[in-house]
Structure 1
């Protein structure tokens, strides 16, 4: 009787993982894929520099505005306004006036220069400095050519500085003007005068203030617009 052959060799099997433990991949095989960590969020761009530009630009614009207002004020102060009106009558700056020939009493402050203006129709002739005399209780004052010449035209008349006088003390004096070569209908007006240094300091200050105003506007607007653009671009990124 023939004996059946026995079972062949048992093929190898991977070892069994104990119950309750996760299955491990066979040796030589990659494990489960690990998720790739995402990039951290980009921190927001700083807008501190943009804020500084905006603040500095706004401050410069305010400074430019103040400088412009002061520049206009000093410029108007330097102009010979208020000497005569459109009809040739004395303006708001007149301290005294009269016909030519004629005279007027003026209270003069010590050390303050005063200007004598010839007022004539446009194109007519006025009087000269030699035609002006100033008589005071302390004696006659020296009449000289004006240290700062000026002219003012308004309407059909024009006024021109002809003479200047300064009293050493405060007193009431009489300003008299002779006919001279003046055209008929000429008059004279007395106003406070300008000291040479004070006038050019005022003019120089006016020019300086205008430069500050113009430069402040240009630079301030540039910084302000640049700062605003910077902030907008930084927020969009």
Structure 2
């Protein structure tokens, strides 16, 4: 469980797996960026001054979406994908994960990957499923989901569907990379770890799995984005009626 200060092993996997650290040799550093503990605590009360509500507004502007609930869903799914990718990638390639305590992890909500997340201190933890559930699901996805449901009215089941979809996508990309690089041992570790993560009650019911394939039981609402459609793992095979009454996800 030897994590290098720059988490350099993650870089070849692509931007979603990369995590900037305070000791990284490149980049400006986290500076005064808010940490996630502050973000989760103030989503309901801090308005546009909160990093997550700002990110929802950024998604609305970039995708030209007028429905805050849709933007909240898409912002949450992207963040879940980042967190799962970092944690799963480290667990498989290093055998350990960095502590992603919300007080240590900072977020530039205006940036794109991999410049959005900064870890102020690399504290190694075991790379088992229980630790990943603690560092991602319990520390981040639960408080984030509760706050988004409270502020934007996004259904809890939809957000957990996003979390399951994000985990499946991270596992699928990691499997593709390790197999392409002749790391069959890592592929086996990734598969076993992903199985253990999906055994958690909050993830088990989010979809059906066959190998690295995943079909979710909910919809992230991407079909409500102008020009959008259904995602590859969506419960729908074609976009449903996009009238307001059909947007429950």
TM-score after normalising by structure 2: 0.23
Larger relative contact order (CA 8 Å, sep ≥ 6): 1
| Greater C-alpha radius of gyration | 1
**More strand by proportion, 1 or 2?**
1
TM-score (norm 1): 0.23
